[in-house]
Structure 1
Amino acid sequence: MIVHLIPAADWPAEAVRPDPAVGFVHCSDPGSVLLPARALFAGRTDILLLEVDPALVGAPVRWEPGVPPVPGGPWFPHVYGPIPASAVVAVHELPLAGDGDFALPASLALR
């Protein structure tokens, strides 16, 4: 399972399209998703986590360093093509904890 961060206003959609600047869709796994969430969406309350089954994507999924790379940092799944809505198996809100930081939804933390 991989996850993709998306503003709630952008979902639902027919597909999540690759970032034209890099040619892929940025994704994470549950263990690393809070890193890009904090970097890109700090303080926002409208962020969703799309839970994606990579076997249903129909495009190459490659585990690579983050963009920009962090020396010794985690690798992330990059999807080299659109992620069709049919590959999204669940949608989760990304809540803010009491300290204003993101908290992984309990439904994903238990996996």
Structure 2
Amino acid sequence: MIFHIAQKVDWQAAQTAREYRASSLTTEGFIHCSDQHQVLEVAHRLFCDRTDLVLLEINPQLLDMELRYENCEGGEEQYPHIYGAIPLAAIPNTYPFLPTPSGKFKLPPEIEH
């Protein structure tokens, strides 16, 4: 499984559209995702103190578009990027994704290993 941190409003719009589209799909041509071990680093770097988020769990085997591991920012670690809208059938689970009172994010217990 791979993961994507989404704004609740975008996830709600996906329910009507029957597919999920992040704004980066329009601006960059792909949707930024993370492997499980990358989720918290991304959350703390990009979403500090945000309370309008959900964590989407994505099954890569159910995608019918390209999934590529790359690093577009010049670092060594590669991240999964999805080159197209994600059908809802490929998102088996979503989780509330809120920071703790100290401002730090934690993985939902259901996916913590």
TM-score (normalizing by structure 2): 0.84
Summarize the alignment of residues 1-111 of structure 1 with structure 2, pairs less than 5 Å apart.
1-12=1-12, 13=14, 14-17=18-21, 19-65=25-71, 67-70=72-75, 72=76, 74-110=77-113
Q: Which runs of 5+ in 1 are unaligned?
A: none
C-alpha distance in 2 between matches for 1:30 and 1:62: 16
C-alpha distance in 2 between matches for 1:15 and 1:40: 24
Q: Which runs of 5+ in 2 are unaligned?
A: none
Higher strand share: 1
Identity in percent: 36
Q: How many residues align?
A: 107
Any conservation in 1 of the 2:25–2:84 contact (CA below 8 Å)?
A: no
Per-residue deviation, 1:36: 2.1
Higher helix share: 2
Per-residue deviation, 1:82: 1.1
Query: What value does the CA root-mean-square deviation take over the aligned residues?
Result: 1.5
Amino acid at match of 2:20: V
Name the SS of the counterpart of 2:5 in structure 1.
strand
